[in-house]
Amino acid sequence: MLVDPAVVERVLGSALSRGGDFAEVFVEDRRAIGASLDDGRVEELSSGRDRGAGVRVVVGETTGYAHTADLSESGLLLAAEAAAAVARQEGGTRTVALSPSEPTRPYDVTIFPEDVEKARKIELLARADDAARSAGSAITQVSAGYGDSRRRILVANSDGVLVSDDQVRSRFSVSCVAMGDTGMQTGFESAAFTVGFELFDTVDVEEIAAAAARRALSKLSARPAPSGEVPIVLASGSGGILFHEACGHGLEADHIAKDASVYVGQVGSQVASPLVTLVDDGTIAREWGTFAVDDEGRPAQRNVLIEDGILTDYMWDYLRARQEGRHSSGNGRRQSYRDLPMVRMTNTFLVDGESDPEELLAQTPHGVYVAKLGGGQVNTTTGDFVFGTVEAYLIENGRLTEPLRDANLIGNGPETLRRIDAVANDFATSPGTCGKDGQSVPVGTGQPTLRITGVTIGGTAGE
């Protein structure tokens, strides 16, 4: 235990002493290491550790929060006193009896990264650099990055919850620059999972590097993307970010409570094509957004948000669920002990359909095939979104022909969901980092290959 349970009980009792309705202690111990190689040289090798606790007290609709890096009993009691200051009257002594529980671990780490010598991690970077440069003389710059982290948390609250989690994550990425007649082009590829150093027993860093180099090289012969509304085929995996942004955020209960989502009041309504089933699942072993318990001590869950096109539920943290008289869906997350938890996604994805991906493409006379999406943004109130493509190809007569330069996809989330007319059976995922209200957390996204009958693409062809 990061803190003695008896100490935690006393801190919770103090936090409730002014009449609070609910109190919570969140303790975190995080360590991380990162290394980067640029043009064959190790440019950065960093490590760090951060420990602390946050105390939350809820009184009616008001929340008090205080955090401290002092995990002694006196330090925690001072934080509890500061958080309890939101209460308007003395409530006397409150006793909290904790009931420890052991969560189901989604994955058992076999090689903790902190037990691995730094030299082995640097070797991975060097191997990736060699592999990327061997792809062709047009590759002029290679950057490779390695990172791992271990985050141990303890969550206890006045409902009697006492639970802990141990989250280990490892990642590797390669970015390449290619130079040619069309100027400078870039390519990027990564692998990131909630696992230990055993990641590299199944992930080949040379293959990651080769994919990044190929992506950069292919753009050297790319033509301008078409402009206007065209059919889009999204390749499996990376397209999941579109649904994370375009509809996932709009299904978070805090946006619903603020009437800041296009999906307010839509539970039970047809909001997507019958081919669409959208799930948020924090229990999937190894995925980037996976954990045993969320940052409010609730077990991770599989939550079906849209089923066969029908909106079935939103995502909930403890506070929003409490206000509605229901249970949390395990979506309360925070960046660190310094932050209040909020409703956040975990691993959000569209489930497999029945189409064969090759047949789906062959049955598309014309359009754009998006092999990899980049970043994007969405207005949750309207559902309008903009995303960049980082690898795309022209579809002509059901075949991929010329590579296309980077362009933007512009559309509306609900409308895009309704325009999905084919979903394949080749589901894949990709890792990402989700930012919201100044906090960032790891998330997973995914989907099988699918076709959207029409999305506006902001290309430059014909200009």
pLDDT in tens, 120-156: 999 999 999 999 999 999 999 999 999 999 999 999 9
The 10s digit of each residue's pLDDT in 237-262 is 988 899 998 899 999 999 999 999 99
| Position 399 in a domain | yes
Mean model confidence pLDDT for the chain = 94
What domain range is 245 assigned to? 227-458
Residue 39: CB atoms within 10 Å: 12
Q: What is the DSSP letter of 71?
A: -
Question: Is 100 inside any structural domain?
Answer: no
Asked if residue 171 is part of any domain, the answer here is no
- The pLDDT of 91-99, averaged and rounded, is 66
Of 94 and 166, the one with more pLDDT: 166
Burial label for 307, CB within 10 Å (0-12, 13-18, 19+), is: middle
Q: Does residue 329 lie in a domain region?
A: yes
Per-residue confidence band for 409, with pLDDT thresholds at 50, 70 and 90: very high
Tokens in use for 131?
């592999």
Is 112 part of any domain? no
Domain count, the chain: 1
Residue 336 included in any domain? yes
CA distance 220 to 384: 31
Per-residue pLDDT, averaged over 306-334, amounts to 96
Q: Which helix (H) or strand (E) holds 333?
A: strand 332-333
> Residue 308 above 60 pLDDT?
yes
Read off the DSSP letter of residue 431: E
Asked if the structure places residue 307 within a domain, the reply is: yes
Report pLDDT for 29.
98
Q: Check whether 89 has a pLDDT greater than 70.
A: no
Rounded Cα–Cα distance for residues 51 and 206 (Å): 36
Q: pLDDT band at residue 274, thresholds of 50, 70 and 90?
A: very high
> For residue 164, what are its two tokens?
């802990």
- How many CA atoms are closer than 13 Å to the CA of 463, on its beta-carbon side? 10
Q: Which two tokens stand for residue 55?
A: 């105390």
pLDDT score recorded for residue 86:
79
pLDDT digits (tens, 9 = 90+) for 170-223: 999 999 999 998 789 999 999 999 999 999 999 999 999 999 999 999 999 999
| Per-residue model confidence as pLDDT tens digits over 24-74 | 999 999 999 999 999 899 988 899 999 999 999 999 888 999 999 999 999
Q: Where are the beta strands (DSSP E) in 4-122?
A: 22-38, 41-59, 62-68, 99-100
% of the chain with per-residue pLDDT over 70? 97
pLDDT-based confidence at residue 90 (cuts at 50, 70, 90) = low
For the residues 412-426, what does the mean pLDDT come to? 96
- Which distant-in-sequence residues (6+ apart) come within 8 Å of 309 by Cβ? 270, 271, 272, 273, 274, 275, 276, 417
- Would you say residue 387 has pLDDT above 80? yes
Residue 168 lies in a domain: no
pTM (predicted TM-score): 0.94
| Calpha distance 342→268 (Å, rounded) | 25
Q: Is the separation of the CB atoms in 116 and 50 below 8 Å?
A: no
Would you say 436 and 249 are in contact if contact means Cβ atoms under 8 Å apart? yes
| Residue 410: per-residue pLDDT | 95
- pLDDT score at 182: 76
Q: What is the pLDDT of residue 377?
A: 85
Confidence of residue 462 (pLDDT cuts 50, 70, 90): very low
Answer whether residue 21 shows pLDDT above 50.
Answer: yes
Q: What's the whole-number mean pLDDT along residues 275-279? A: 97
The residue that leads in pLDDT, 414 or 92, is 414
